[in-house]
Amino acid sequence: MSDGVPMLEIKGLRARAGGAEILKGLDLVVGAGEVHAIMGPNGSGKSTLANVLSGRPSVEVTAGSVLYQGRDLLELAPEDRAKEGIFLAFQYPVEIPGVSNAYFMKAALNAARAHRGEEELDGMDFLEFARKKMKLVEFDEALLNRAVNEGFSGGEKKRNEILQMAILEPRLAVLDETDSGLDIDALQVVANGVNALRSPDRSAIVITHYQRLLDYVVPDFVHVLADGRIARSGGRELAHELEKKGYSWLEVAPPVEAAAP
């Protein structure tokens, strides 16, 4: 990656989902090595942003641009974005009956490796590699042989997302409310997963409703999303301010800049 090109550059992004406009001119720049937290009330467009970045077919981009390492991201198919290093930790991980977790992850890892011109891992090598990662996120190995997310508890599903992230080692990780519904121990695991990936050439966008996670994953920047736009940006102190004052505080506060509707 050439110096100076941001990891992600979003300009004037508008997007529709479920028949309504959700993102209404969103701008965001994420530099290489940075961790950005995106907070905001329910319905402000946080998940829609995650869906746009990962290419979910049900979300329609109507205006604006998204550059990923200087390339147009929006023209790529979801699997190509993944192979290029974008990872979405799903808010609601999907169950795939009959397909084992190990097989699924090996297929995903080998798809990315093939894309990078690297040799595919065989079963044994993959297991060895996966075991190290499982330690990191305290993942029960028995879950590896179960069908993807099938019958997993909420916490197990989230750990599974973080394990997949650890295995795929993405350049840009997007965590969509991965912390919701987790106890402190599980939260620590999620944080370990994200922190282990921190490096000058990797970035992360952490979407969360609560600032709690940000005590463990210390962000470089915090943005507040409201009604489809970034309403406020700042350092990590912004998260504490939000926690204290609540999201209603935003409604009276003026936006950073008056964007045209």
Partner 1 sequence: MTQSSDAMLEKLANRDYQYGFVTDIDADSAPPGLNEDIVRLISSKKNEPSWLLDWRLKALARFMEMLENDVEPTWAKVEYPKINFQDIIYYSAPKQVKKLESLDEVDPQLLETYEKLGISLSEQKRLHGVAVDAVFDSVSVATTFKGELEKQGIIFCSFSEAVTRCPELIQQYLGSVVPVSDNFYAALNSAVFTDGSFAYIPKGVRCPMELSTYFRINAANTGQFERTLLIADEGAYVSYLEGCTAPMRDENQLHAAVVELVALDDAEIKYSTVQNWYPGDKDGVGGIYNFVTKRGACRGKRSKISWTQVETGSAITWKYPSCLLQGDDSVGEFYSVAMTNNLQQADTGTKMIHIGKRTKSTIISKGISAGRSSNAYRGLVRIQPGATGARNYSQCDSLLLGDRCSAHTFPYLEVKNASSTIEHEATTSKIGEDQLFYCRQRGISEEDAISMIVNGFCKQVLRELPMEFAVEAQALLGLSLEGSVG
Q: Which residues bind partner 1 (CB under 8 A)?
A: 54-58, 77-79, 81-83, 87-88, 90, 93-108, 111-112, 115, 122-123, 126-127, 144-145, 147, 164, 168
CA 44 to chain centre: 16
Q: Which two tokens stand for residue 216?
A: 């463990």
156: how many CB neighbours lie within 10 A of its CB? 17
Based on CB atoms, which residue is closest to partner 1, 44 or 164?
164
State the minimum distance, in angstroms, from the CB of residue 103 to partner 1: 4
Task: Measure Cα distances from 160 to 99, 147, 176 in Å.
Answer: 14, 12, 14
State the minimum distance, in angstroms, from the CB of residue 101 to partner 1: 7
Q: Using N-to-C axis directions, what is the helix angle for 184-197 and 154-168, rounded to 10°?
A: 10
- 55: burial class by Cβ within 10 Å (0-12, 13-18, 19+)? buried
State the minimum distance, in angstroms, from the CB of residue 141 to partner 1: 11
Based on CB atoms, which residue is closest to partner 1, 72 or 79?
79
Based on CB atoms, which residue is closest to partner 1, 128 or 243?
128
Based on CB atoms, which residue is closest to partner 1, 41 or 93?
93
Based on CB atoms, which residue is closest to partner 1, 190 or 231?
190
State the minimum distance, in angstroms, from the CB of residue 106 to partner 1: 6
Q: Which two tokens stand for residue 108?
A: 């995903």
The span from the CA of 188 to the CA of 173, in Å, is 17
Task: Measure Cα distances from 121 to 67, 88, 103, 124, 148 in Å.
Answer: 31, 23, 12, 8, 20
State the minimum distance, in angstroms, from the CB of residue 207 to partner 1: 15
